[in-house]
Structure 1
């Protein structure tokens, strides 16, 4: 049984762009509001790791393919249009235009009750032909859907503040990596950013608008800021030193996008249209959306609080393979498996993996016994020096040792580490408590490898804090082969010494 069949009385919402930043976060909000959800995706497999995957129907299709759109629209009450061709090349305006027409036509033919579209906030005083191609296309898509014959809600937002949003990630990397910035003149442009939570609230609420509403609404937060203001306030929330920002007039949008590409991992195909759009002032002219989607207490969320929420995942210290698969998301600010690799800030890793000619149990005894009198299985002088430097800097050093020589539990201190997570027999995760310009973890896994043998996996992870954190990682990385490589090899040897090599099964 699919999610479509479970409760035929609830409204059915079609969400396009569910593998994108907004769409992936909208689906669980719609489900929580009592809607049924169907997702239209070119690659349905990309959605299988979302925690809501078993509660939403997923169909294969593309908004430029009329047949697949028509099929996906069957039985739909509200259709969300959350796709655009940004980053696909110079022809993205034509692609957006064609897709919007198909979507509107098929929605009308299927008897869809409402279309909801998230577009871009545009300045009132600039003729549409003079807008950046990105904003011009978003405005055109809105007009096409409003003229489709289906009651349509167009929500127009400027910079969306949330981890994973391309605009926010650009702001994050520029601020964190450059304590002194020679910037384009667009840093003086006034912008009204909006928290992703408020965007999602408006999207969900739009599903229940009266049938006679067919118009665009501006949505924004309570703060009107320049891009420079946003960088300064981001630095303050992230507890970075104050940034020195020096605007210069000669950086064109094209040069700006190359500059952003050098400093940040945001792809140039996305950075360029975003930087081109920043030359326009984008400030809300009305707040009429509140007539249909009332502001609850505490909303809209202010810029500083939105940044704090976007950074919360790092401060909660939840780490697995990368920020965008850190744990099952429970809030709009949480990462999703479909977020791009460059979302969520920098996370550097040193990964080691070795086969062990010993049992998994023997390997786990070595892992759980690490630290204290047993040491760290590599280059003792390096660990002693690091502990001494930490003491000089006011840190805990290596003097704490461990509570029990053989057993660990969550919360135990372990030299200058703290046990953050332990899965007996499988995983030990330690969080660094030494003085560092960032957050660091060390993970050690004991896993089966067949024929009674084990496999040892080890990861050191570091989330840098500002430019000093970046410099720290690259400064110590040449020593990782000795310290972490030696640790992995010696842990394996110790496990093999404790357990005889397994014998091969008799044929």
Structure 2
């Protein structure tokens, strides 16, 4: 897209390499959370604007940035946040659908553009979607294009990147490819799996985003970015399987577009919830290949060149094996309502299942199990019952049990654990999880441990605020399952802690024997 305003209308941006003050929106999301530390490494001063600061409470870069609590639909607070800012990174795009979705997204972008102009911001940087010209786009791709156009038509210089499938551990696009490839050795698929896709490694997306802060300006245009290797979507799944050491995958392309049916199928077979799988699948209805490579004249390719698709997959798999996923799509989900403190429960209908269990094991070992719960470690009771509930949740549009967790051993506020979100954590003492499953009410699971004599006292509370009669009937319906699941869960968590303690004691004894004369 060419310039939509004359250079005289745009304030000049800083020369390449100059340190800037930047504001990142969407810092709790997949791209934004990875971009912030790269901007800091490049010497920029970074502000982040988040609706809920608790969602970034556990990030390692928190002490190096200014955190501003605010909303992108509040023009006044946004103008204040942009005071002294050179570059605004607009990395917010909702996956929610429904009536008014597009108009709301466009209105938020217009508010941001107006606030940026009033604050004399030098540039807006936006990441949109790669798509062909002159075709009827899906709702979400159309909305992304419209948001980019708002910035290009504004009084502020804009750099609008257009990227296809982003490959990196924790990316929703990558998770979809990974789970489809690993789950289905033979996959009947709609005809769009033949469409041409140019993927891009997340590290290369970040390279271009960081570089955009220091581009000589004015620029004010779109740039297509990708790895410059074109595959079909089926080809990407086959290449993934080869890189992951899986047997050859057969993908049968059927002459049926069926985006909605395919979205439901993806939701059932991957961690991606239906609300996200539908727009992701709809965005694959057309080829997504770069039409130009003009970015090379403004930002050099990364040292060593752009990352080929297979290497991007290898990097993503390597990070997942190490458990070092910096950010993940799932942590950018809905904000969590706080759990009312016990005295505030007056007036609420509250259902609770409470269990306590005394064990001879040290509280620190019990905490190790508590903080590692979920994901591959599971929930320590009747795995089939949990899986069935997860499938039912998926079928009704919920998150299901496949989202996993960012790190196998540590948690932070705001992070996802399967269909739960960490609402509060007092390391060594208490973990409170808020349910994001579909249910007629609000639910929490609270796990805590404290020293008790020579051992420990483990406490477990399942709390449910029913919504209307359906909520009360729901609680009654699940009571028989709770009577099986929750007692076993309390016992098995304590038993698992005893095994860890036994292994530690055995290791200590072995070391003492080796060190004795």
Give the shorter-chain TM-score range: 0.5 to 0.7
Asked whether the 8 Å contact 1:161–1:194 carries over to 2, the reply is: yes
What residue number does 1:249 align with?
A: 255
SS in 2 for 1:170: helix
TM-score (norm 2): 0.64
Q: Are the equivalent residues in 2 in contact too, given 1:356–1:492 (CA < 8 A)? A: no
Write out per-residue CA displacement over residues 290-337 of structure 1, whole angstroms, 9 at most, x where no aligned residue.
111101332210000111111112333x4xxxxxxxx5xxxxxx3337
Give 1:48 shift: 1.2
**What residue in structure 1 maps to residue 116 of structure 2?**
107
- Would the aligned equivalents of 2:207 and 2:302 in 1 still touch at CA under 8 Å? no
Of the three residues 207, 218, 227, the one matched with 2:224 is 218
Q: Which has the higher contact order (CA 8 A, sep 6+)?
A: 2
Is 2:60 aligned against 1:75? Answer: no
Alignment partners' CA distance in 1, 2:186 and 2:22 = 47
Write out per-residue CA displacement over residues 53-75 of structure 1, whole angstroms, 9 at most, x where no aligned residue: 11011111111121221121111
Change (3 A) 1:106 1:454: same
Q: Tell me which residue corresponds to 1:298.
A: 304
Q: How many residues align?
A: 359
Alpha-carbon distance, 1:85 to partner: 2.1
Aligned equivalent of 1:263: 269
Q: Secondary structure at the match of 1:37?
A: strand
The alignment yields a C-alpha RMSD, in angstroms, of 3.3
What is the CA deviation profile of residues 430-484 of structure 1, one whole-angstrom value per residue up to 9, with x for unaligned ones? Answer: xxxxxxxxxxxxxxxxx86244533689xxxxxxxxxxxxxxxxxxxxxx99x96
* Cα deviations by residue, 1:241-296 (Å, 9 ceiling, x for unpaired): 11111111235111111111121121111111111111111110111111111013
Whichever of the two has the greater Rg, that structure is 1
Instruction: Tell me by how many angstroms 1:222 deviates.
Output: 2.7
Is 1:150 aligned to residue 156 of structure 2? yes
SS in 2 for 1:340: helix
Output the CA distance in 1 between the equivalents of 2:48 and 2:56: 9
* 2:200 alignment partner in structure 1: 194
For residues 118 and 194 of structure 2, the distance between their equivalents in structure 1, rounded to whole angstroms, comes to 46
Which residue of 354, 358, 380 maps to 1:355?
A: 358
Change (3 A) 1:133 1:450: same
Contact conserved, 1:62 with 1:69, CA < 8 A, in 2? yes
Q: Give the secondary-structure state (helix, strand or coil) at the position aligned to 2:114.
A: helix
Cα deviation, 1:74-97, whole Å, max 9, x if unaligned, reads 110100000012224343211110
| Residue aligned with 2:160, SS | strand
Q: Which residue of 2 aligns with 1:453?
A: 455
In the TM superposition, residue 110 of structure 1 has moved relative to its aligned partner by: 0.2
Residue 61 (1) aligns with residue 76 (2): no
Please state if 1:132 is matched with 2:147: no
Q: Deviations over 1:399-420 (max 9, x none)?
A: xxxxxxxxxxxxxxxxxxxxxx
Q: 1:389 aligns to what?
A: none
Deviation of 1:179 after TM superposition, in Å, equals 1.1
Contact map agreement 1:355 1:449 (CA 8 A) in 2: no
Q: Which moved more, 1:241-250 or 1:152-161?
A: 241-250
**Secondary structure of the equivalent of 2:88?**
strand
Cα offset for 1:114? Answer: 0.8
TM-aligned CA distance change 1:84 to 1:358, over 3 Å: closer
**In 2, distance between residues paired with 1:142 and 1:188?**
28
Q: Deviations over 1:103-125 (max 9, x none)?
A: 1110000000111000111102x
Aligned counterparts of 1:261 and 1:293: Cα–Cα separation in 2: 37
Secondary structure, in 3 states, of the residue corresponding to 1:241?
coil
- Alpha-carbon distance between aligned partners in 2 of 1:169 and 1:492, rounded to the nearest angstrom: 32
With 267-276 and 20-29 compared, the bigger mean Cα shift is at 267-276
Unaligned runs of 5+ in 2: 1-17, 334-354, 370-427, 429-448, 460-487, 504-517
Match of 2:331, SS state, is coil
Name the structure 2 match of 1:231.
Answer: 237
Asked if residue 165 in structure 1 is aligned to residue 171 in structure 2, the reply is yes
Change (3 A) 1:455 1:179: farther
Partner of 1:209: 215
> 1:105 and 1:455, CA in 2 relative to 1: closer, same or farther beyond 3 A?
same
Which residue pairs with 1:340 in the alignment? 331
SS in 2 for 1:230: helix
The equivalent position to 2:43 in structure 1, one of 29, 34, 56, is: 34
**Which of 121, 124, 130 is residue 121 of structure 1 equivalent to?**
130
Contact conserved, 1:164 with 1:340, CA < 8 A, in 2?
A: no
- Partner of 1:439 in structure 2? none
* Alignment partners' CA distance in 2, 1:265 and 1:201: 28
How big is the shift at 1:354?
A: 5.2
- C-alpha separation in 1, matches of 2:21 and 2:202: 23
The answer (yes or no) to whether the contact 2:105–2:147 under 8 Å persists in 1 is: yes
- Write out per-residue CA displacement over residues 213-248 of structure 1, whole angstroms, 9 at most, x where no aligned residue: 111100000310000000000011111111111111
Residue pair 2:30, 2:328 contacting (<8 A) in 1 also: no
Q: Which one of 89, 92, 101 corresponds to residue 98 of structure 2?
A: 89
